[in-house]
């Protein structure tokens, strides 16, 4: 469905954030059809409009809201973690520094809605409006330490970033990503990897053991074995990768 162009995009972003974190129309942090309708109503009440009025404008916004996977990088509730709710594609493409600064500013605010740092706000707006630029993708690829990034096309960079991040937009296997999991989830992961002594470990010890296991496991693979894993995961550009690049791509 084509997106209706709004006359006041900044107002729309402010309204979206407010409604996302409110308890009206659903739980804080959870989207619903009702929340989408409330957002459109609030946007119009504050003077927002559309360049081309038509019967499908409200439907467009409803579709836009219900189709996006909003959340935080930790996977927790914004009210508890102080993080900002963002669509998955935005969380995935913001560098750790950008996300941390955005979260810090939100935590320091007096009210529920706190504006993002200017540079982060501009980047988020560009990603939402026209998708990421190659420069943005390269910056995030460097942040994720993706090997071979300098020779990748825009599509290859995006695929590599998607492969390197988890469902919440954080680097797979990173300590931050593991910190966002419950002890029970970490235990299940340790059980899958047959980590000795897991039943007696605390959450922090499970995280440490999983990090060590992740680092050591791939180093034991041959290049051919890593290539087969990359093939199973449909990693693009795998035929041109060296052993280190293959290990990074499948981790």
User: Would you kindly state where each structural domain of the chain is located, as residue ranges?
Assistant: 1-68, 152-250
Identify the segments of the chain with pLDDT beneath 70. 1-4, 30-34, 52-68, 105-114, 173-177, 179-180, 213-221, 232, 251
Q: How far is it, in rounded angstroms, from Cα 126 to Cα 198?
A: 45
199 exposure class (CB count in 10 Å sphere: 0-12, 13-18, 19+): exposed
Give the pLDDT of residue 94: 93
Place of tokens 């102080």: 82
Annotate 49-66 with b (16+ C-beta within 10 A) or e (fewer): ebeeeeeebbebbbebbe
**pTM for this model (two decimals):** 0.53
Place of tokens 């630029």: 133
Which of 139, 142, 112 lies closest to 127 in space, CA to CA? Answer: 139
Inter-axis angle of helices 243-250 and 203-219, to 10 degrees? 140
| 146 CB-near residues (< 8 Å, 6+ apart) | 157, 160, 161, 164, 248, 249
From the centroid of its chain, how far is CA 207? 21
């Amino acid at each position: 469905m084509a997106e209706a162009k709004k006359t006041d995009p900044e107002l729309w972003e402010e309204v979206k954030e407010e409604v996302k974190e409110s308890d009206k129309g659903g739980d804080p942090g959870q989207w619903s059809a009702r929340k989408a309708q409330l957002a459109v109503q609030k946007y119009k009440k504050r003077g927002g409009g559309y360049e081309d009025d038509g019967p499908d404008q409200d439907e467009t916004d409803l579709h836009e809201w219900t189709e996006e996977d909003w959340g935080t990088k930790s996977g927790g509730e914004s009210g508890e973690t102080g993080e900002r709710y963002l669509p998955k594609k935005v969380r995935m493409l913001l560098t750790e520094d950008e996300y941390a600064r955005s979260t810090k500013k939100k935590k320091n605010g007096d009210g529920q809605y706190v504006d993002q740092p200017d540079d982060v706000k501009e980047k988020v707006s560009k990603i939402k409006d026209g998708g990421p630029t190659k420069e943005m993708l390269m910056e995030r690829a460097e942040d994720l330490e993706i090997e071979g990034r300098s020779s990748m096309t825009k599509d290859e960079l995006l695929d590599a970033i998607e492969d390197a991040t988890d469902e919440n937009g954080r680097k797979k296997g990173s300590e931050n990503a593991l910190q966002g999991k419950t002890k029970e989830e970490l235990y299940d992961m340790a059980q899958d990897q047959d980590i000795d002594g897991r039943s007696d470990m605390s959450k922090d010890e499970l995280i440490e053991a999983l990090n060590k296991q992740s680092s050591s496991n791939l180093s034991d693979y041959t290049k051919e074995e890593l290539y087969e894993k990359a093939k199973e995961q449909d990693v693009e550009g795998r035929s041109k990768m060296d052993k280190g690049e293959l290990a990074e791509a499948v981790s």
